[in-house]
Structure 1
């Protein structure tokens, strides 16, 4: 039974049956904000009405998909939900950003402003195209914002993410470690922690060419396969990286205290493509169970 009143045209219930069409495919043209909630969750009851209000205000600039995690446990597992409410933004078929917990309306507006433009009339023909912010510009902007409002801890999480995007792993780790407890479990913080874990494993590691040569010489060089999988992930070839971990899991499941499974779980937390993650979760489960 639907939980969404018919008076809210930009809000809908997402299920396994309609997820691919109404969320993933639809996000190719319009961003979809996914609200993972449950009836028994008190913070969800605070957050839900705020999201619905903003969906109405944005008037179709984004759609709000409501996922009851009790009824749709497969979707909750696909997103790796650890606490609710959890909110993720799906755009161009991929998870772009997200947060956990019932944030205040002002912070949610800031979150939306980073990714969604409110619906308005047609843009002027001579309007200047939007210029993507560089990594250094993002760092400068966030550092200035933190200097102006040092008590806003969520800005420090944004800074940690920006440092990681700029390739500054040690400062990113320092900012992540300094986050307060309520932000340490935020979906973005969890993802960043997994990214940093993968990046650290490549310190002093051989090049991709050397790792491929080692595997050509010895197909059961598990360490080379493991590091190759990490390199492929970090360099953007997620499927090829996951395939390396699956190969280890299939052929030498207990190698290095089950590292292949740990790598897969860490990788799932860093990959934006929800469809790819769901596919590889199923393949991992078929090997583990």
Structure 2
């Protein structure tokens, strides 16, 4: 994802003057970022404190789910990071600068550079994991202690939260897509498929819905499949057990070990490319459609191309 964004310093050169905030500040840890104040409030400020940028819009349903969670964490983490809110309708130049294709989009800026990011609403537990992965831990203090003691949101918690939101606002169809995604994360393939099938036409082509379709196709391949340990044992015993290697790749993907899973498909493609009507290539293409990491996808697309052509 980050590879698609421009170099911020090329647009907002580093000033030698100390940051002077020009944004309207709803709270100590959350503020509204503007084009005029972006260099000082975000880029230069990130030299001292990581800045999490939330690109949102009033009409965006998933933004209304994600935004409050981000604001809550900003307070709980007690200054370990600051949250910069950017209304893409009010700040079109900033939205264009980031090359935003969908919202919500969240970007982490540290030391004046874009360090990480993701698109779409995710559960609170994943937000905490995202922050931890980037070295952001709750700061000392009562609010920070509260965050440290809080348990990450489980998949079941996310499902319950979204179901309650649907009950409160049944007309918000985008919540049903959020529910389908949460069900998939919980391993509830059939309920996730049912919610996906029930989406209105305007959401059926949403990038998250398209990605979910590919995830469901992969998950169905594991119906009745052996466990991860059994599949590893089969591959170790017989490296030419293409079915075991294929299922091992799918299971690794579903369980989060993406590169190792993709490597299984590449191995089949390299050594037995026509197995099961070219299934290894189909698996790779399906996997690419489920991943947000553009750099990783690009790397494995090139590896696949070198074997196919």
Answer yes or no: same fold by TM over 0.5: yes
One of 284, 297, 301 as aligned partner of 1:277 = 297
User: 1:95–1:274: 8 Å Cα contact kept in structure 2?
Assistant: no
Offset, 1:237: 1.3
Deviations 1:72-117 (A, max 9, x none): xxxxxxxxxxxx9445545596653338xxxxxxxxxx99xx969x
Deviations 1:212-268 (A, max 9, x none): 333334322211110111111122211111001011111222222221111112212
User: 1:34–1:65: 8 Å Cα contact kept in structure 2?
Assistant: no
Offset, 1:177: 0.9
The CA distance in 1 between the partners of 2:206 and 2:251, in whole Å, is 26
Offset, 1:157: 0.6
Deviations 1:97-140 (A, max 9, x none): 338xxxxxxxxxx99xx969xxxxxx993225344333233222
Q: Secondary structure at the match of 1:129?
A: helix
RMSD between aligned residues: 4.2
Identify the residue that residue 118 of structure 2 maps to in structure 1. Answer: 96
Could you tell me the TM-score, scaled by structure 1's length?
A: 0.63
Offset, 1:288: 2.3
One of 133, 141, 145 as aligned partner of 2:165 = 145
Identify the residue that residue 254 of structure 2 maps to in structure 1. Answer: 234
Q: Number of matched residues?
A: 225
> Which structure 2 residues correspond to residues 186-225 of structure 1 after superposition, within 5 A?
186-225=206-245
User: 1:245–1:260: 8 Å Cα contact kept in structure 2?
Assistant: yes
Identify the residue that residue 59 of structure 2 maps to in structure 1. Answer: none
Q: Which has the larger radius of gyration?
A: 2
Could you tell me the TM-score, scaled by structure 2's length?
A: 0.59
1:268 equivalent in alignment to 2:288:
yes
The CA distance in 2 between the partners of 1:145 and 1:152, in whole Å, is 9
The CA distance in 2 between the partners of 1:188 and 1:276, in whole Å, is 18
In structure 2, list runs of 5 or more residues that go unmatched. 1-5, 13-33, 57-85, 110-114, 129-138
